[in-house]
Structure 1
């Protein structure tokens, strides 16, 4: 084992400083900050957490070659067997071909002997674009979000999953720490890297779990009891509450099979809310509303006004107009008579 003090970047874009060395730097399954991995390319900055499904560590790191922050999914040597690791990395490569705002672009997939030096204490690295914003768990830290907000948050991720599944690509959505909220206010799979054993159905279940979490503030325990989101928040629409429960349930017991089913409900709730907001914002224009008289007559224009003062003004105006007309006739008659005298 050997270490070098943290320094600066070399001309090739690799870090000359930071903790470097053998397997012993992985303590209790965790890599310490400032560790340089990926054959000197990535410096670990801040741990985000770990996905216990495949023993992956999630990090914000600095890419020395690209000179920017990246999201690293780091597979340690004790996480799984070589076949499992190979399958996970192959799946990550498949995700890299998906271009969608709901999934962080995969920038690099490295394995031992191909970007990962032997003796680093890790067996694979998946590097993705760093997603600015905040962790998904921070959104519901104080209280669950409103149903409409939940739909707006989740819709891009659901759409990304729907497109991926049409290609047979598993995303690995199923762990809260892998999801972040973008500055635009939408959820994004920030740490792509589907576990080797994950299936399309697991993705759908993960999406439903996220929806349940947003609506209730609780991450459901696999196989544990579920309380309907509508029971906890009466304002949750029936369809939305039902889709959250059914997507988590076992498929054989009537569970949801496809992400498209969830996506349709999310869009329906959002569209209904938008329509209600638009209608509420419309002015109360009585001029466009037919008037109904006491006698049952319906006027498509304004009905006549029964106003005595107004009738008096109209009568005076008519009398003046008659006097003016008589005066004009008298003047014209006098003029004609004068011409013949």
Structure 2
């Protein structure tokens, strides 16, 4: 799917008119600087409308997180200020997994009172495709899903070392880049978002890729909610998609849920778990491929081959991402 078709499907899903305003393609915001092109989602929890726009001054496309609200509403204005402050703090943060914050506009400083906005976060535009479009037809292959999530988890780990919360706990804020990795395209964390919320979001993204369902509150109507068992526990991905390896299924649930033993609470822990689960799945796929070729492993699981093993983790990841790029090629530009 190319970006034009993606924009059209996104507009159909989320609509083009905001509460209390008239945000529509062709409208201008930011004191006339940014012309809206296409809407890519709405994070209802924050009144955040996610748009692709054209910067009239620098003549480039950008991503806008528009905080819609009434300036006379003191609580809404306070929450918007907190989100803008957090976005401004992230302006110096650089990582391939997060779109760079270019500017933060607030009332009286780039935003006029007549616009129906409480603020705007301006970031570089991320080429690729919607995360929702990727899972619309069928879930992603487990190994590909694990490798996609790793880049995002690396970004979270680095941000948390700097004391930053990224706020990636809404699937429409994420996009799949042309090289097959996930990226936070519309930064702007909720006022009360925590480091733990970022970690849970990583698990929710993995759950979404494996099942096509969203496991956190406040998700968009375009994505079915993840089911829960009668006891309130989250149904594991493996119960919905039997092809999902037990390790990845457990990893997703342990990262999302707050209670119980064996939970994953930090970005460092989920990075380690993702690497282990991905390596285990790579080994499984290798054995299956060798079996299909008539090569039998030894009793201890060893597979004899004339090829030298790839010891470099970065090289192994590139090989795995090669499969990802093939998946993305049909849906991204």
Q: TM-score, normalised by structure 1?
A: 0.70
1:1-341 to 2 correspondence within 5 Å?
Answer: 28=20, 31-78=23-70, 81-220=76-215, 222=217, 225=228, 226-251=234-259, 255-274=263-282
Report Cα offsets for 1:238-285 as digits up to 9, x if no partner. Answer: 22111111111125776421122221122223334445667867xx9x
SS at match of 1:73: strand
Shifted more, 112-121 versus 169-178: the winner is 112-121
Query: Matches of 2:126 and 2:277 in 1, distance apart?
Result: 27
SS at match of 1:111: strand
Deviation at residue 26 of structure 1 after TM alignment: 5.5
SS at match of 1:164: helix
Deviation at residue 27 of structure 1 after TM alignment: 5.2
Deviation at residue 102 of structure 1 after TM alignment: 0.4
Report Cα offsets for 1:142-167 as digits up to 9, x if no partner. Answer: 11111101011111111000111111
Query: Matches of 2:44 and 2:202 in 1, distance apart?
Result: 18
Query: Matches of 2:194 and 2:275 in 1, distance apart?
Result: 25
How many residue pairs get matched? 261
Query: Matches of 2:269 and 2:22 in 1, distance apart?
Result: 39
Higher relative contact order (CA 8 A, sep 6+): 2
- Considering only CA atoms, is the larger Rg found in Structure 1 or Structure 2? 1
* 2:10 counterpart residue number: none
Query: Matches of 1:235 and 1:265 in 2, distance apart?
Result: 19
Query: Matches of 2:267 and 2:96 in 1, distance apart?
Result: 17
Query: Matches of 1:275 and 1:26 in 2, distance apart?
Result: 49
The RMSD of aligned alpha carbons is 2.6
CA contact (8 A) 1:112 1:118 kept: yes
Runs of 4+ in 1 over 4 A off after TM superposition: 25-30, 251-254, 273-281
Deviation at residue 208 of structure 1 after TM alignment: 0.9
SS at match of 2:253: helix
Query: Matches of 2:132 and 2:199 in 1, distance apart?
Result: 19
Q: TM-score, normalised by structure 2?
A: 0.72
CA contact (8 A) 2:21 2:115 kept: no
Report Cα offsets for 1:167-216 as digits up to 9, x if no partner. Answer: 11100011110000000011100000001111111111111111111111
CA 140–27 in structure 1, closer or farther in 2 if over 3 Å, else same: closer
* 1:335 counterpart residue number: none
* 1:291 counterpart residue number: none
CA contact (8 A) 1:104 1:192 kept: yes
